[in-house]
């Protein structure tokens, strides 16, 4: 079974430029998450989707960040314009919300460096 796929793995951009990250969740997983992981910290949730609906985006900085999940499968996270403080790893995760602990499966992340 293929895991969560993210691209690109690494991205270096200058401040004020736009950037986009792509995530393909595990097949059949209806819930998708975007997390931000700063150096030396644990991941922090940015947004959660159930199918194509964003059900929790309270921690997404909406002035510069946007996300979409068309057709309830792949998702894109965008930053425009990027700031130096956005340098971090952006992790995508997915889960199937049924019986059980509904553990989240993570992708390898996109490491963003803003110069």
Partner 1 sequence: AQKITQTQPGMFVQEKEAVTLDCTYDTSDPSYGLFWYKQPSSGEMIFLIYQGSYDQQNATEGRYSLNFQKARKSANLVISASQLGDSAMYFCAMRGSGAGSYQLTFGKGTKLSVIP
Q: Name the residue nearer to partner 1 (CB basis): 81 or 108.
A: 108
Q: Name the residue nearer to partner 1 (CB basis): 79 or 93.
A: 93
On whether the CB atoms of residues 10 and 110 are closer than 8 A, the answer is yes
Q: What is the DSSP string of 29-95?
A: --EEEEEEE-TTS--EEEEEEETTEEEE-TTS-TTTEEEE-GGGS-EEEEESS--GGG-EEEEEEEE
Give the interface size with partner 1 as a residue count (CB under 8 A). 27
Please give the residues from 83 up to 112 whose contact with partner 1 meets the rule CB under 8 A. Answer: 89, 91, 93, 95, 97, 101-109, 111
**Residue 3 contacts partner 1 per CB under 8 A:** yes
**Residue 114 contacts partner 1 per CB under 8 A:** no
Q: Which residues pair with 88 in a beta bridge?
A: 112
* 101 contact partners, CB below 8 Å, separation of at least 6: none
- The one among 15, 16, 18, 41 contacting partner 1 by CB under 8 A: 41
Residue ranges in contact with partner 1 by CB under 8 A: 3, 31, 33, 40-45, 48, 56, 58, 89, 91, 93, 95, 97, 101-109, 111
């Amino acid at each position: 079974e293929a895991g969560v796929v993210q691209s690109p793995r690494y991205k270096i951009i200058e401040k004020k430029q736009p950037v986009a990250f792509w995530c393909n969740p595990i097949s059949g997983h209806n819930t998708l998450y975007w997390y931000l992981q700063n150096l030396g910290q644990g991941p922090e949730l940015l947004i959660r989707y159930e199918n194509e609906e964003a059900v929790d985006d309270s921690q997404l900085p909406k002035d510069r960040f946007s996300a979409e999940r068309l057709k309830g499968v792949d998702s894109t996270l965008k930053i425009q314009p990027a700031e130096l403080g956005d340098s971090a790893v952006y992790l995508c995760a997915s889960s199937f919300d049924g019986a059980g602990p509904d553990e989240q499966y993570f992708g390898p992340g996109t490491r963003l460096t803003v110069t």
